[in-house]
Structure 1
Amino acid sequence: MRKNTYIGIAFIVLIFGIIFIPKIFRRYVNDDVVRGGRMHAVGEAEEESTDGLVYININGKDRRVPEFEFLDQNKDTITEKTYRGKVYLVEFFFTRCPDICIPMNHNLQEIAKLFEGNSNFGIASFSIDPEHDTPEVLKQYASDYGVTNPNWHFMTGNRSDILKLSNEGFYLATNTEEDIENGLYHSGLFALIDQNGFIRSRLDDHGNPKPYYRGFVPMDAIVGEGEEAPEIDILIEDIKKLLNK
């Protein structure tokens, strides 16, 4: 099971790289994607970053969370404005996921516990299986995970809108394929959003902005050579940086 899971993860990450990294790279070499430490162009992001985190700058504009509107597990309407003023994490998942969603949401629950009581921290979980993941199903799922943070919303809605938000809004690859289990796959990655709605990240080993954190690797995982290392510890560090601004 573990071997099959990592094969599946490797396939998802490969698809992400094939579809999205070339697009980002082309923008980068054309100087459309701007590294951290340079002056930014718009809104609240005009000042240089002082927290060591960069903005995802596309075509001269710092990437902000796009507009969205979905129902959560309590049948409340949630939009991007719901999270304004909060530091929050974004994931795309589904409740019937048999593998990577399990460590993803265990990681998120550990993070939620760490920031319990902090009203300025939240989590946005979008289901890519909305036909099955109704508000009632999501409410039971949240209960099973012991979710108590009132700012952790499990959302459902139109599938095409959710996939577009994932792929184009947050660069967290998801898709549907008939020849894989459940017909659904997703990257298992998290996005970090600041109080002003901007996607934030660190630089990768090549000095380029990396708009995600590996959410599918357990935070206490012991990994072998060539395996994906956990990034939850550095994600927690970066959440603290933004909350302390």
Structure 2
Amino acid sequence: MKCSHYLYVPLLIGGALFSCTSKTDRKLPIIGERETKQRVVDGETVIDTLYHHIPAFAFLNQDSTMISEKNFEHQIYVANFFFTHCPSICPTMQRNLLKVYQKYKGDERISFLSHSIDFKYDSPSVLKSYATKLGVDSEQWQFVTGTKKDIYGIAEKYLVYTKEDASVPGGYDHQGYLVLLDQQRRIRGAYDGTNDEQVAQLFIDLEILLNES
């Protein structure tokens, strides 16, 4: 049985819709479709809820090293989609994510994952140069590339729209959401990375999720 908790972006606006900043014991929602399954334990029926989560993945990072979901085990992380020569929303989105990175730099509970949607140009060396210029100097923030099928496929799992489109500036159309994942790779919030109010909400919701964890 499935419930209609699937909020496909652009309706996925951010944690500000769901969280309460005045209660430190507040829990964030789990976003996406969910499925219930029944099983019998000691003669009694137990209902389990299976939540939408990011599946296993493997991508090449800025250091030409393959990384997977195992690199994020037992961590909260923030993911997004961008490309290095993006002329529109990416510079603002990445600068705002950099603020979050700088606050939590060295905090082993939190990581960051940026997926390039330009599978043609954004090689590991290009991503490395981009990360260095941005001011990222640790493995806490990974920049990854992969095939079009794999990158665009995983974007759908994050509920983020991405598309190769020659008619738009830069040749790629995508949404600038910063997606907050818990330790089970479940989506707990999404925030417009170009909107200062929503980025501020991400800071608040990160603390809520850390307290929950």
TM-score when normalising by structure 1: 0.69
Aligned to 2:96: 107
Q: Using the alignment, how far apart are the partners of 1:116 and 1:143 within structure 2? A: 15
Q: Using the alignment, how far apart are the partners of 2:52 and 2:3 within structure 1? A: 15
Percent identity between matched residues is 32
Structure number with higher helix proportion: 1
What are structure 1's unaligned runs of at least 5 residues? Answer: 1-26, 36-49, 202-211, 220-229
Tell me the secondary structure at the aligned position of residue 95 of structure 1. Answer: coil
Tell me the secondary structure at the aligned position of residue 89 of structure 1. Answer: strand
**2:68 maps to which of 71, 79, 84:** 79
Q: Using the alignment, how far apart are the partners of 1:83 and 1:176 within structure 2? A: 28
Q: Does 1:216 align with 2:194?
A: yes
Tell me the secondary structure at the aligned position of residue 149 of structure 2. Answer: helix
Give the C-alpha shift of residue 149 in structure 1. Answer: 3.5
Q: Using the alignment, how far apart are the partners of 2:34 and 2:101 within structure 1? A: 34
Q: Using the alignment, how far apart are the partners of 1:176 and 1:194 within structure 2? A: 29
**1:54 maps to which of 5, 15, 29:** 29
Q: Using the alignment, how far apart are the partners of 1:51 and 1:150 within structure 2? A: 30
Aligned to 2:107: 118
Q: Does 1:33 align with 2:8?
A: no
Q: Does 1:159 align with 2:131?
A: no
Q: Using the alignment, how far apart are the partners of 2:169 and 2:32 within structure 1? A: 35
What are structure 2's unaligned runs of at least 5 residues? Answer: 8-24, 36-49
Q: Using the alignment, how far apart are the partners of 2:199 and 2:71 within structure 1? A: 25
Over 6 Å off, 4+ runs: none
**1:134 maps to which of 123, 136, 142:** 123
Q: Using the alignment, how far apart are the partners of 2:120 and 2:104 within structure 1? A: 32
Structure number with higher strand proportion: 2
Tell me the secondary structure at the aligned position of residue 96 of structure 2. Answer: helix
1:163 is matched by which residue type in structure 2?
Y
Give the C-alpha shift of residue 33 in structure 1. Answer: 2.1
**CA deviations over 1:55-74 (Å, ceiling 9, x no partner):** 12414231111111001001
Aligned to 2:136: 147
Aligned to 1:93: 82
Whether the 8 Å CA contact 2:34–2:52 is kept in 1: the answer is no
**1:191 maps to which of 147, 166, 179:** 179
Q: Using the alignment, how far apart are the partners of 2:75 and 2:32 within structure 1? A: 21
1:132 is matched by which residue type in structure 2?
Y
TM-score when normalising by structure 2: 0.79
Q: Using the alignment, how far apart are the partners of 1:235 and 1:190 within structure 2? A: 8
2:193 is matched by which residue type in structure 1?
G
Aligned to 2:57: 68
Q: Using the alignment, how far apart are the partners of 1:179 and 1:233 within structure 2? A: 33
2:166 is matched by which residue type in structure 1?
E
Aligned to 2:13: none
Aligned to 1:239: 206
Tell me the secondary structure at the aligned position of residue 91 of structure 1. Answer: strand
Whether the 8 Å CA contact 2:105–2:140 is kept in 1: the answer is no
Q: Using the alignment, how far apart are the partners of 1:243 and 1:85 within structure 2? A: 12
Give the C-alpha shift of residue 147 in structure 1. Answer: 0.4
2:206 is matched by which residue type in structure 1?
I
Q: 1 or 2 for the larger relative contact order (CA 8 Å, sep ≥6)?
A: 2
Count of equivalent residues: 181
